[in-house]
Structure 1
Amino acid sequence: MRSERPVALVTGVGRRAGIGAAIAERLSADGWLVACTHWQAYDARMPWGPDPVQVGDFSVEADLADPSAAAWVFDRVAASLGEATALVLAHCESVDSGFLDTSLESFDRHFAVNTRANWLLMREFAMRFAGPHGAGRIVALTSDAVVHNVPYGASKGALDRLIVAAATELGPRGITANAVNPGPTDTGWIDGPLSTTLRTRTPLGRLGTPLDCANLVSFLCGPDGAWVTGQLLTSNGGFS
């Protein structure tokens, strides 16, 4: 599988309807060799259920709540495709609960998956990066949802701060780091009444699609995005 094509690692590519799958397909179309991670046990316990997809050039199942997963995943990618020069963090734990009914176990798992795993993946990527200076890319998917979704929103807020730190500290290594907030995106979780409400609140009058997010990630990972770093970019049709 090795070639002169650059290698991108996209996490959270477990569902055909998901944002991760759209990103992987778009980067493949852009000419990247794409490695993906997925964790079917998460989708199996969520209301939408499993929707397996095979995209990219290499895929591995990994529970990113395991602190040892980051190094193991990068080892597998390097052995199969080569060292990655782009890292797209599209995985998440997202189980709705509020201030008073969030369990300790749920809170800890959200931070393990959405915050700690992202730090470990970014750290592993930076330590291994040996591409041309300025060619390294980190893009994380974030969210400003937090009301009645406290552990998810809090863990994403911490991820935002990690991105700001990564942009500054990893810049000298030739790596950019940005976060994308795609807003409400139609990946199968939006029912009829909620769809109507969200469309009404969105100036452009429609729901976001996975491809909307994938297009922005494509730009940030490509050469035209080389001067953009340390940014928390909201791309949601004016919803916010």
Structure 2
Amino acid sequence: MTHEAPHRDPLPLLGRTALVTGASRRAGIGYAIARRLVAYGASVHLHHHIPHDAGQPWGADPDGPEALAADLRTLAADGAAVTHSPADLTAPGAPAELVATAAGALGGRLDVLVANHALSGRDGTLDEIDADMLDAHWAVNTRSTVLLVQAYARRRGEGQDGGRVVMTTSGQDRGGGMPGEMAYALAKGALASVTRSLATALARRGVTVNTVDPGPVDTGYATGETHAFIASLFPGGHWGRPDDPARLVAWLATDEAAWITGQVITSDGGFNR
């Protein structure tokens, strides 16, 4: 008996639509994910919150969100769109508004949700954290993500196929944990814990739900001795690059990954935490 080789579609997401949150910097993971999805044929809506980036040491992208979207449009397949909008996801109603905005910008449909955004800074050790720090990380990293998934799910009925949700977590469950970022670790750990429950809840709506731990990725937040030390903990001797987790996330959005759901997947190059 002979078997034909599986056909590999060069545009496996052609005709699909996606919302990627936290996609505001060329050096960031969100932008790399959006770039991959566009290269696979999808129409993509980029979410950004420039005030957050501007308040960080690395700063906001100097060219602004429209320039990033314009760059992605040069890669887009015929008929595919790249749009963008701001949202401060600390507001309780913002996640649902963002999902509605993204779906409207992309023709009324939303197939893929990538919740990549996160709050940076305003954190500390067990001795340093306070209620405001805990609440801030919970609101952005956890509450808004679950509300995004809720709003996305409400747009889908049972019997549909091709729905995808991908969230991002961190290394809080491995090695020595993240004792210096207690609020962040708690909030991101909650997403890992709820992945299976969300996957079960959305299975009959044709949606898979997975969470990716990308390990340390060089997005410009570490320099000097810290950068060199982290690099030494990788077997390959260098940090992860934004496109490393982006390739996994984009693949999870395709039909090839239709049987993978409820998983927390580590893609960290063998990082020795």
Q: Is the TM value for this pair above 0.5? A: yes
SS at match of 2:270: coil
> After superposition, what is the alpha-carbon deviation per residue over 1:95-117, rounded to whole angstroms, capped at 9, x for unaligned?
14111111321210100000000
Match for residue 89 of structure 1?
A: 115
Measured in 2, the distance between the counterparts of 1:123 and 1:93 equals: 20
Aligned pairs for 1:127-142 within 5 A: 127-130=154-157, 133-142=160-169
5+ unaligned residues in a row in structure 1: which ranges? none
Aligned residue among 158, 174, 194 for 1:162: 194
If the length of structure 2 is used for normalisation, what is the TM-score? 0.83
Measured in 2, the distance between the counterparts of 1:20 and 1:68 equals: 22
Aligned pairs for 1:104-183 within 5 A: 104-130=131-157, 133-145=160-172, 146-183=178-215
Aligned residue among 73, 76, 86 for 2:101: 76
Measured in 2, the distance between the counterparts of 1:67 and 1:187 equals: 28
Measured in 1, the distance between the counterparts of 2:232 and 2:250 equals: 28
> Alpha carbon RMSD of aligned pairs, Å?
1.5
> Kindly, what percent of the aligned residue pairs are identical?
40
Q: Tell which deviates more after alignment, 154-163 or 71-80.
A: 71-80
Match for residue 15 of structure 1?
A: 25
Measured in 2, the distance between the counterparts of 1:195 and 1:69 equals: 35
SS at match of 1:58: strand
Misfit runs of 4+, over 4 Å:
none
Aligned residue among 29, 40, 59 for 1:49: 59
TM-aligned CA deviation for residue 75 of structure 1: 1.6
Aligned pairs for 1:189-200 within 5 A: 189-200=221-232
Measured in 2, the distance between the counterparts of 1:218 and 1:75 equals: 22
TM-aligned CA deviation for residue 94 of structure 1: 2.2
Instruction: Report how many residues are paired.
Output: 237
5+ unaligned residues in a row in structure 2: which ranges? 1-13, 73-81, 173-177
Q: Tell which structure's C-alpha radius of gyration is larger.
A: 2
Match for residue 216 of structure 2?
A: 184
If the length of structure 1 is used for normalisation, what is the TM-score? 0.94
- Contact conserved, 2:114 with 2:165, CA < 8 A, in 1? yes
TM-aligned CA deviation for residue 161 of structure 1: 1.8
- Contact conserved, 1:136 with 1:176, CA < 8 A, in 2? yes
Measured in 2, the distance between the counterparts of 1:161 and 1:202 equals: 26
Measured in 1, the distance between the counterparts of 2:198 and 2:109 equals: 19
Q: Tell which deviates more after alignment, 116-125 or 46-55.
A: 46-55
TM-aligned CA deviation for residue 195 of structure 1: 2.0
